[in-house]
Each structure stands twice: as C-alpha cells, then as structure tokens.
C-alpha cells in the first residue's frame, strides 16, 4: 500500500531544456518498497477534512470523487451537510447507485490543499474514498499503479 502524506510522498521534478516546463515521471528507483510483479490498485492515505484517511483508492479512470458511508460517519458529517446531486452513478459491478448528495472537503497533500466535491453513496466498498481525475488534475499530479505512487509538483 502506498502512502501520500507530505513526509512520504515522492516529489521529483526536472526542468526541460525548453524553459520552465515541469516534467514528472517515474524511474526504476520508484519501484522501491513494492513487490514485483504485481497488479495492485493504487491505495494511499490522504488528509481529508483535517483527518488522515486510509484506504483511499486513486482511480484516474473515474470522473468523480466518491465517499462511502463509513468515512462520512467517521468525519461526523450529517445528512444536512450534503448538497443535492442529481446524476446516477454506475458501480464497479455495473449497478446503478443513487447518490445521497455531495459535499465539498479539502484534501491536503504536502503544503497543497485542493477543495474536492465528493459524491456520497450508500454502498459497500473496501475503500473509504475514491479520488479521481478532478483531484489529480487540480493537483497537477501523475499516478502510477506499477510504482504505487502519486507525484505532484511542489
């Protein structure tokens, strides 16, 4: 399992010959700490709403961030904290899921704080949260399931 708090995150960057373009990438050294070969999901710990949250799935293939009931209750959030969210979601099993609503919470990664709209669903998941493309894009991050890491400019 990968971790992402500031003290554990990898922050490598290189300046290109063309100027200030930032290039983020992964090397063989980044495989350190993983058992190869593997096909594990990228699961990290993130600071969400001021709390360290474990079992966060990083899914660059998803278009929305999803929060599951155990975390929602664990953060002491109430139903009245939710705002309406009218679209249906499709679960990993292909079933339609009706969201309970959405809530905006900060995710802190190192010194960066990104406000994220989580869609709250009442469904089982082994994960507490799924972070997706919107979070990765806001952070200007790249992820690698092979290396079990997320890198971002800092």
- Label each residue of the chain as H, E or C: CCCCCCCCCECCCEECCCCCCEECCCCHHHHCCCCCCCCCCCEEEEEECCEEEEEEEECCCCCCEEECHHHHHHCCCCHHHCECCCCCEECCCCCEECCCEEEEEEEEECCEEEEEEEEECCCCCCCCEEECHHHHHHHCCEEECCCCEEECCC
Statement: residue 154 has pLDDT above 80: no
* CATH number, domain containing residue 131: 2.40.70.10
Residue 123 in domain:
yes
Is the entire prediction scored with pTM above 0.85? no
pLDDT in tens, 14-47: 443 445 667 778 888 888 887 888 888 899 999 9
Residue 62 in domain:
yes
pLDDT of residue 21: 66
Residue 61 in domain:
yes
Q: What is the count of structural domains for the chain?
A: 1
Q: What is the mean pLDDT of residues 51-66?
A: 94
Statement: residue 103 has pLDDT above 80: yes
Domain residues for 60?
A: 14-151
């Amino acid at each position: 399992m990968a971790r992402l708090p500031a003290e554990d995150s990898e922050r490598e960057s290189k300046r290109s010959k063309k100027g200030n373009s930032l290039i983020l990438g992964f090397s063989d050294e980044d495989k350190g700490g993983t058992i190869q070969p593997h096909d594990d999901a990228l699961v990290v710990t993130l600071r969400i709403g001021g709390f360290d949250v474990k079992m966060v799935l990083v899914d660059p293939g998803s278009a929305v961030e999803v929060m599951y009931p155990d975390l929602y209750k664990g953060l002491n959030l109430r139903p009245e904290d939710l705002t309406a969210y009218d679209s249906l979601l499709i679960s990993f099993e292909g079933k339609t899921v009706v969201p309970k609503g959405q809530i905006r919470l900060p995710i802190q990664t190192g010194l960066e704080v990104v406000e994220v709209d989580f869609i709250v669903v009442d469904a089982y998941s082994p994960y507490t949260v799924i972070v997706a493309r919107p979070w990765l894009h806001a952070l200007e991050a790249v992820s690698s399931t092979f290396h079990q890491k997320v890198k971002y400019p800092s």
